[in-house]
Structure 1
Amino acid sequence: MRKGETTRERILDIAQASVLEKGFGATSIEEIIAAAGITKSGFFYHFRDKNELAYALLTRYVADDMRILDEVFGRAAELCEDPLQSFLIGLKLLAEVLADLPGGHPGCMIASICYQERLFDRRVIELNRKALESMNARFRGYLEAIALAYPPREPIDLDALAEMASCVIDGGIIMAKVMGDSDRLVRQVLAYRALVKRHFSQSQEEVSRPSALAVE
C-alpha cells in the first residue's frame, strides 16, 4: 500500500472509531487531523469535506459488512446444502463472529448516519438507503430458498422477515451499547434464528427431533 493510501486508511480508521463512539456531529475534522498526525491540508488532500469523509466511511463499512455476511453464509452453504439448515448454521456462525469482536460490536455506521441525516448530502443518504436494501436482499434470497423447500407453517411476509434481520442486528447493537452488555446482540441474533427455525420446520416433531445437520 502506497504512503497516500496508508494515510487515507488511517484517517478512516480514526474517524470510524470516533463516529461509532459518539456520532458524526461530535466528531470534528480537527480531532481527526490531530489523532492522525497530519496537517489540515493533508486531510483535505484526501477528503474535500465532511460529507466526502462520511461517504468514504460508509462505503468501506458496508463493504466490510457485506463481505462478512457473504463469508459466513457462504461457509454455511459449504457445510450443508439444505437451505434451512444452512441458514440456521449461518446465523449461528454470525453470532459467534459478533461475540468474538473486541469489546463487542463497536456500533453501526448506518444507524449513526440515519440518526443525523441532516448533516449529510443526498449522496450519503442514498448510499445509506442502498446499504440496507443490499442487506435485506441478501436475507430475502436466503429465505426464498428456504420457503421453496420448507413451506412456512403459517403465512409470513418474507420481505418483513428479511428486514427483521437488519432490525435485529442494528437494534441489538444499540441495546448492547445502552445496556453495557455485549452479549445482548448475540442473544438477539440467536432469537431470530429460533424464530426462523420455528416458522419453517414442517412439524412440531421436526422442531424437537435432533438433526445431524442442524447446529444446536
Structure 2
Amino acid sequence: MRKGEATRERILDIAQASVLEKGFGATSIEEIIAAAGITKSGFFYHFRDKNELAYALLNRYVTEDMRILDEVFGRAADLCDDPLQSFLVGLKLLAEVFADLPGGHPGCMIASVCYQERLFDRRVIELNRTAVVAMNARFRSYLEAIAAVYPPREPLDLDTLAEMISCIIDGGIIMSKVMGDPNRLVRQILAYRALIKQHFSPPQEMASRPPPLAA
C-alpha cells in the first residue's frame, strides 16, 4: 500500500472508531487530524469535507459487511446444498463471527448515519438506503430459495422476514451496548435462526421431536 493510501486508511480507521463510539456530530475533523498526526491540508487532500468523509466511511463499511456475508454464507453453501440447512448454518457462523469480536460489535455505521441524517447530503443518505435495500434483497433471495423447497408452515411475508435480520443485528448491537452484554447480539441471531427453522422445517421433522415435559 502506498503512503497516500495508508494515510487515507488511517484517517478512516480513526474516524470510524470515533463515529461508532460517539456519533458523527460529536466527531470533529480537528480531532481526527490530531489523532492521525497529519496537517489540515493533509486531511483535505483526501476528503473535501465531512460529507465526503462520511461517504467514504459508509462505503467502506458496507463493502466490508457484504464481504463478511459473502464469506459466511458462501462457506455455508459449500458445506450444505440444501437451502434451509445452508441458511441455518450461515446464521450459526454469523453468530460465531460476532461472538469472536473482542469486546463485542463496535457499532453500525448505517445506523449512525440514519440517526443523524440531517448532517449529510443526498449522496450519503442515498448510499445508506441503497445499502439497506441490498442487505434485505440478499436475505430475501435466501428465503425465496428455502420457500421453494420448504413452503412455510403458515403464511409469511418474505420481505418482512428478510428485513428482520437487519433489525435484529442493529437492535442487538444497541441492546448489547446498553446492557453491557456483547452476547445479546449473538443470542438474537440464534433466536432468528430458531424462528426460521420452525417456520420452514418439514412437518415430519417437527412431528418427530419428543413432546415437551409436563410442568
TM-score computed with the length of structure 2 as normaliser: 0.95
Output the CA distance in 1 between the equivalents of 2:33 and 2:200: 52
Change in 2 beyond 3 A, CA 1:208/1:177: farther
Task: Return the letter of the residue paired with 2:187.
Answer: R
Other-structure match for 2:39: 39
Following superposition, the deviation at residue 54 of structure 1 comes to 0.1
Other-structure match for 1:164: 164
Q: Percent identity?
A: 86
Other-structure match for 1:178: 178
**Number of equivalenced pairs:** 210
Q: Does 1:198 align with 2:204?
A: no
1:14-73 deviations in Å (ceiling 9; x for gaps): 000000000000000000000000000000000000000000000000000000001000
Other-structure match for 2:145: 145
Write out aligned runs for 1:21-170 (5 A): 21-170=21-170
Gaps of 5+ in 1: 211-216
Please give the secondary structure, in 2, of the residue aligned with 1:198.
helix
Following superposition, the deviation at residue 209 of structure 1 comes to 5.1
Following superposition, the deviation at residue 208 of structure 1 comes to 5.6
Output the CA distance in 2 between the equivalents of 1:182 and 1:169: 12
Task: Return the letter of the residue paired with 2:55.
Answer: Y
Is this contact kept in 2: 1:176–1:184, CA < 8 A? yes
Output the CA distance in 2 between the equivalents of 1:164 and 1:51: 29
Task: Return the letter of the residue paired with 1:83.
Answer: P
Following superposition, the deviation at residue 207 of structure 1 comes to 7.0
1:159-202 deviations in Å (ceiling 9; x for gaps): 00000010011110011011111000000000000000001012
Other-structure match for 1:213: none
Output the CA distance in 2 between the equivalents of 1:73 and 1:31: 38
Task: Return the letter of the residue paired with 1:197.
Answer: K
TM-score computed with the length of structure 1 as normaliser: 0.95
Is this contact kept in 2: 1:197–1:207, CA < 8 A? no
Output the CA distance in 2 between the equivalents of 1:208 and 1:167: 32
The runs of 4+ residues in structure 1 deviating greater than 3 Å are: 204-210
